Amino acid sequence: MTALTGHVVVFGATVLYTLINGTWPGALTWLGIGVSLALATLLLGAVAGVAGGMLAKFIESIRS
């Protein structure tokens, strides 16, 4: 969750900065990049969580 929070803060600030000092298409581009990377981060976290759970069950079955 920490990585996702960092993505939201950085890309949220970038979008606001671009809206204030740039153009709205530029801000929309940064928003799209931020959402894409946030989804990729969530997917990677979910895959790692499932892999860790599977590994823990496998190790538990060996110990029993």
Q: How many CB atoms lie within 10 A of CB 15?
A: 21
* pLDDT tens, residue by residue, 7-34: 899 999 999 999 999 999 999 999 999 9
Q: Enter the pTM of the model.
A: 0.77
- For residues 2 and 45, the model is more confident at 45
4 pLDDT tier (thresholds 50, 70, 90):
confident
Q: Would you call 22 helix, strand, or coil by DSSP?
A: coil
Say how far apart CA 23 and CA 21 lie, in whole Å: 7
Distance CA 16, CA 9 (A): 11
* Residue pointed to by tokens 């069950």: 57
Q: Of all residues in the chain, what percent carry a pLDDT higher than 70?
A: 100
How far is it, in rounded angstroms, from Cα 9 to Cα 11? 6
